[in-house]
A and B are shown apart, each in its own frame.
Chain A
Amino acid sequence: MSDPQTSGPAATPAGPETTTHGDETHHWWRLIAIWVVLCAIGDPLFYFLAGPHIPPGTMTNTAQGAQFDFNVLFVIALPVLLGVWIYMIYVFVMWRASRGGPEPVGGPDARGHLGIQVGWIVTTSVIVLFLAGFGTYELVQPGGAGGGEGSNPIWTPTSKTVLPIQVIGQQWKFTYRYPTFGGFETNELVIPDNTTIQFNVTSLDVIHSFWAYQLGVKADANPDYNNVAYTTPQQLGTFIVRCSELCGIWHGAMYNSGAVVTPQQFEAWAKLTAIRLRQNTKLLPAYALTYTPDANGADGGYYPDNVDKYSGVEQYGASQPKGGG
């Protein structure tokens, strides 16, 4: 922090004995003052003005959690960024080399300053360790933070009422099955407000990824595997579902929209849809957490054939469910 022009080897060959400690203190406190003021302005400005608008928004508790995490990270990162920028600009302005002057290199501080080094290591270590702890906690709260938790979730929501919805990926669209409403399967994803949703995500062919961006939900869709993710809507509105795993030529077009509606609207929609699709629902296999396409599929012969045929549960579409039409 000492002025190279006064403490550098060209100006002060004798070294640290001639360092102007008064100037060091002066620069140090000046830098800190600028940094504190800018942080005190920048952080609240971001958190309270920009923060509420940061994606993915607050449509669900998991989306809100992701937004909160982003805002906290930004509030922590901004002082670090400002510290580097302020110091850099300060150095450019205060300690730039003057024409004809000594080379601004060398000096005892250029070879190391114990206080600064210790301070830097301690500060960055505290920040990193805090972020590790904070990030780990936020990664699983609330109820898995909207991420796919595998077939046996460890972090489950506290709500006693959970609406299960099966998300089925296939090249190249998602369909949704509502097991508690007769097991109908539809292209539409409609969910009720203030209700904890349990997404059971699977695939009928290759690996897809169910990414309901505004819901703060993202879970891989693997064939023969049930990947569970939770969320609780807290705002009405529409959202977009995209596949976020490169899954073939039409991957980029594998998206659709969904809606969060009131519980009353959802009940009405679900009952109406169950009636509208009842004829086809009878032809679907019994609801299962995963389905295995078999060799009896379309045009036959090119599906995996090492599966149990017509198990009634594991088969999807190739077998007739009991009582089916």
Chain B
Amino acid sequence: MVVSGRSGNGGLTMASSAWKVTVTVIVFAVMAVGAVILVINLLGSPPTVNFTADNSGQVNVTLQAVGSYGSGDHPTWVSYLVKSSDGQWVHTTVFQVPQHVRINVTIYNYDSGSPLRNQQIGQVSGTNGNVALLNGKAFRVINSNNGNGVGHTFSIPSIGLNVPLYGNNGNANLCAAAPCTFSSPHQIEKFSFTSPGSGSYRWQCFVPCGLGYLFGNGGPMSTLGYMGGFMQVEA
């Protein structure tokens, strides 16, 4: 058609121009849609909470696990939250720490517990001394068949870290909207580990707590910002 247009045929020249305009418009439309999708994705990604070492060279990370976030797109979903350095609870599962430093983690669990599908994740591993503190008392294993069972875990598989979170009594008046406070039933767990070299380390809860999803591993278990995220380790 281009060759014909150059030959002086007015009709074909106009057709050629229309064809070029159409192609150009389509290309720009595709690029615009792509840009919009990119922006939406970037805006939709959970924010990163940055932690720095204190004067003693240690990093203190505080999280909370709630049975239902209580608002937003998925108010019924179970979720983790991260406490930023200014004391605000941030709905995210992405945080950043320096490499090769002692990380002191405190987790407030406001959710109930139950027996585990695999009791193996009831074992504490990868922490300093392979031990954690539950309300101030050291433990290495939680028997999920006793008491309130296990609510969640905080696990970073690539460094062998796994800490089960003891659950609250399911019959109690549990917090149903994050961020939860100490006025609601809760368990406090503390543990420490040494951050690995720089990189991005996936962490997740290994208790299949995605209520209503196949094998409990869909929904919040498969969505960044709820029950899994990344520990970004910076050099």
| A residues apposed to B, CB below 8 Å | 168, 170-173, 175, 185-188, 204-206, 248-250, 253, 256, 276-277, 279-280, 283-285, 293, 296-303, 316-320, 324-325
B143 to chain A, nearest CB (A): 5
- Given A298-B216, A300-B114, A320-B145; A280-B120 close (CB under 8 Å): yes
A301 to chain B, nearest CB (A): 8
Task: Check B140 for interface membership: any CB of A closer than 8 A.
Answer: yes
A319 CA to B150 CA, complexed, in Å: 14
A300 CA to B115 CA, complexed, in Å: 9
Number of A-B contacts (CB under 8 A): 121
- Which one, B56-64, B83-91, B201-209, is touching chain A? B201-209
| B residues apposed to A, CB below 8 Å | 112, 114-120, 122-123, 125, 130, 140-141, 143-145, 149-150, 157-158, 160, 162, 202, 204, 206-209, 211-218, 221-223, 228
A318 CA to B208 CA, complexed, in Å: 13
A248 CA to B221 CA, complexed, in Å: 10
A206 CA to B66 CA, complexed, in Å: 26
Q: Do B222 and A298 touch across chains, with their CB atoms under 8 A apart?
A: no
A283 CA to B122 CA, complexed, in Å: 9
In the complex, 20 of the A-B residue pairs with CB atoms within 8 angstroms, ordered by the A residue number, are: A168-B118, A170-B117, A185-B118, A187-B157, A204-B117, A204-B118, A205-B217, A248-B217, A253-B157, A280-B119, A280-B120, A284-B119, A297-B117, A298-B150, A299-B112, A299-B209, A303-B216, A317-B118, A317-B119, A318-B117
Partner of A170, one of B118, B125, B141, B212: B118
Give the residues in chain B near A276, CB-CB below 8 Å.
130
Give the residues in chain A near B123, CB-CB below 8 Å.
277, 279-280
Q: Do A297 and B157 touch across chains, with their CB atoms under 8 A apart?
A: no
Q: Do B122 and A205 touch across chains, with their CB atoms under 8 A apart?
A: no
